[in-house]
Amino acid sequence: MTSALPAEPAVVLLSTFADSFAAHLAKSQLDAEDIPCFLSNEHRPYGPVSGGVRLYVREQDVLAAQELLQPQHSPMHALPEQPDGLEDAAPRCPRCHHHDVVCRHTPQPTDSLFTKLRLWLLAPEAPQCHCFNCGHEFELK
């Protein structure tokens, strides 16, 4: 008589990353929430050319992992109406001169890696701004 072994959980590819730094950040987020995961292809040269760094999770954890890793949208606040004659008091994009600009001192989860490093390491005194009209990032002076 043979006893049936429990079925191993299926492992699926959750995401691929161009560099191991971004992959390890995602893995750390999953580890912090006790979602088992592992990386592969992280020590291969030429990053994306070799298929990128791959992040795997169990099949039953895919939805929880995707929800955890999906970009968080930072809240946007409308600027208050300016009294007549003070239209230029609101920040404007130096590239397109549009008013659809948000400024902040701290990085947000949706920022690019370069923006996060710039805000964390350089700790700028001037607010870092992003124009939603043209995508330009600049410092408010």
Domain CATH number, residue 30: 3.30.70.1530
Residue 124 reports pLDDT greater than 80: no
- What average pLDDT does the segment 101-123 reach? 70
In a domain, 75, yes or no: no
CA gap 112, 29 in Å, rounded: 17
Query: At residue 98, what are phi and psi to the nearest 5 degrees?
Result: -90, 155
pLDDT of residue 96: 84
In a domain, 122, yes or no: yes
pLDDT of residue 91: 79
- pLDDT digit string, tens, across residues 34-93: 999 999 888 776 655 667 889 999 999 999 999 888 865 444 444 444 455 544 567 788
CA gap 95, 98 in Å, rounded: 8
Closest Cα partner for 33 from 67, 76, 79, 9?
67
Same domain, 104 and 62: no
Q: Is the pTM of this model over 0.75?
A: no
Domain that holds residue 56: 11-69
Which of residues 121 and 28 earns the better pLDDT score?
A: 28
β strands within the chain, DSSP E: 11-17, 37-40, 53-58, 101-104, 128-131, 137-139
Q: How many domains does the chain have?
A: 2
Same domain, 63 and 96: no
19, 34, 69: which is the final residue of a domain? 69
Which of residues 74 and 135 earns the better pLDDT score?
A: 135
pLDDT of residue 101: 82
Same domain, 59 and 100: no
